[in-house]
A and B are shown apart, each in its own frame.
Chain A
């Protein structure tokens, strides 16, 4: 089945220690998103890629970076995690049709704990 895969599902890192979360997709979608979701809150968009075009949200901290080496993979790097960065990180994809796109397909998420 075509899907969005996130690894690892659970990640524990130390305060200030860089961490990388990964996302891969078999849907061949050209748009990929990274969201941060804290408990019982709506997902908060950090950034998204349209093909290789990177689009950062204005309020995403510089501590968060992303890479998309090819269509299938996208990485979220947190350079110096703080306690406030503990959250679920969701990857999603969608297929852009001209200037519009439709539903987003979400991965299962990576739960990040910062100690």
Chain B
């Protein structure tokens, strides 16, 4: 069975600084997808970034980028130039490439950006 581990329950970062959130996963699959979702306080969950396992290039979306290390089964999220609006719960999620439509979520990291 697949598992997703987020080892940092809470983190804080100064505005304009860079922060990295860690995520590791365990799977025997070769084809899968990884996601980072953001859930701001009292607001809905939205996709931040996704990575296909077959792609070697790390995904990037504006200030958000990932460091995908397939052999190490690691998928960390880097937020550059942190903004107050980045304050949120961040969930890492795994999905097998075939045969399912279900995510496996990590336990989340609560990120607070400090002014």
Q: Residues of A at under 8 Å CB distance from B? A: 31, 33, 40-43, 45, 48, 50, 90, 92, 94, 96, 99-109
Contact = CB atoms under 8 A, between A and B. Distances in A.
B44 interface: yes
11 contacts: A31-B101, A42-B106, A43-B45, A43-B91, A45-B103, A100-B33, A100-B97, A100-B98, A103-B47, A105-B47, A106-B45
Nearest to A96: B101
A84 B108 CA distance: 21
From B37, B50, B106, residue with most partner A Cβ within 10 Å: B37
Nearest to B52: A102
A90 B108 contact: no
B33 A108 contact: no
Interface of B: 33, 35, 37, 43-47, 50, 89, 91, 95, 97-99, 101-103, 105-108, 110
A99 B99 contact: yes
Contacts of B101: 31, 33, 48, 50, 94, 96, 101
Contacts of A105: 47
A100 B107 CA distance: 24
Nearest to A106: B45
B41 to A, nearest CB: 11
A106 B98 contact: no
Given A99-B98, A100-B97, A40 B110 contact: yes
A40 B33 contact: no
A45 B102 contact: yes
A30 B102 CA distance: 13
Nearest to A109: B44
Given A99-B99, A100-B97, A102-B33, A43 B105 contact: yes
